[in-house]
Structure 1
Amino acid sequence: MKLVRFGQPGSEKPGLIDSQGKIRDLSAHVDDFTGANLSPATLDKLRAIDPASLPEVPAGTRLGAPVAGTRNFIAIGLNYVDHAKETGQEIPAEPILFNKAPSCICGPNDDIMYPKNSEHMDWEVEIAFVIGSRARYVEEKDALAHIAGYCLCNDVSERSFQVKRAGQWVKGKSAETFGPLGPWLVTPDDIADVQNLALTLDVNGERKQTGNTSTMIFTIAQLLSYISQFMVLEPGDVVTTGTPPGVGSARKPREFLKAGDEVVLRIDGLGEQRAKIVPFKL
């Protein structure tokens, strides 16, 4: 299934994408896609519904992030071999974990806003997974069973905050609109091999990133198992799993986003994000 949340910010309703690519309204069956409604049992009930029986949502309706009420937004650093090399850093022996504030989450096509005093805003196409059942000290062989679905994520980053301001990466990763998710949350049964998906990112029509999840240093199953040794992952939590090479800060010469730029992200089977960069505003 491809699950969505549609409507204006703060008033989104749950829906799904039918075989014709149309949004169908699920609000008569589930109130929202919070963690409580992402359990295997709930997803099985939704899967049994005939999409043709659901009201059709008008084309062009805004899509929000496909999960609501996220409490933990965890990210992985340097998880693609070529990306680690382009930054001049060693291949990590263990996953590098950092936080993105859940308040940075926004819809897949919402404007991305420069934070105040930003100098070096960068892009990162990533695949994220959303927890569907509580994960605590999970073994790798059981890890994927805890995932409700996968979605696109742009791990938008402010490099001067991240690198030059000392302390933790979270400062450069958590500004308002720095966590676009979606357009869809795709359940695992709709993905043949999550470790063989192509990722791309374009800025103003020019290809900047090309990668494949097959080149991850740590697989999604390894990441979930690893994280669960240090914290409990609850339903609705989001983990974004690292980016392939081609980020602006590693290019020669370096490139950064500016107001008016359009950023387009794609991952096989997970859809497309298309966002404009806009100036800071209160």
Structure 2
Amino acid sequence: MTASLYDVTAQAAAASVIRAYSTSFGMATRLLGPRVRGHVRNVYALVRVADEVVDGAAEDAGLPVEAQRTVLDDLEAETLAAMASGFSSNLIVHAFALTARECAITPDHVRPFFASMRTDLERTSHDDASHDDYVYGSAEVVGLMCLQTFVNAGRPGRPVPADETLVTGARRLGAAFQDINFLRDHADDAERLGRDYVGVGDPARRAALLDRIDADLDAAAATVPLLPRDCRAAVATAHGLFASLARRLREAGATDARIRVPNAVKATIAARSAAGIRPRRRLV
């Protein structure tokens, strides 16, 4: 009884994180079936807490870089320990561990993520190779964690591997999301955090990145119909929202303004996805 109440409380804490931090992703997760929805929120909450350690909240509290690194290292260690034991006194970590243990999220997913978070404390600009390494850890593995929940939620003790086509789709969708966010948030990243992930000041590099984003979105769209039925509308909605952002970023050109998708467009994308209309494979 007590353990069950604790589990419920931990997952409620995780759900509160996505409500506070994300309107678009939060809207997409509401379209997930109940089998999966809480697990994806648990993944998001841990990822968001770790991101906050390196993106300003810890610094705003007065922690120097070395202290931020210690906090991040401790969070990783606590996460891995909870995945092994099934318990953490940190509610967000506990919620994530519940999901990891049921859905076969492994340390091979978690360690690259924390490695990328540490990179934010160590370097302020990236070449193509370090960009790709960073995106794999910060975004592609998050897509793989979500895919593990899509495939294995509701199958405790009986996990199955995800189809390789879905693995590729999850990685490419995660990469597209991250690169879109890099372009969208470049002014804030530069001014507040002193970071440049994609060399946005180089018009040729920006154009090449937008082409890569379109290709990743196209590849990911082809895999959405292969997902479990109770996950398709949510993933299609997230895909549609970011595809709209990518198109608007291309149309806007180099700008410091933060590009947004109007609420009415968001609602239309969500409605189309809920109706079973597949995401567009080619952007127009």
TM-score (norm 2): 0.24
TM-score (norm 1): 0.24
Structure with more of its chain in strand, by fraction:
1
Structure with more of its chain in helix, by fraction:
2
Indicate the structure whose relative CO is greater, using CA pairs within 8 Å and at least 6 residues apart: 1
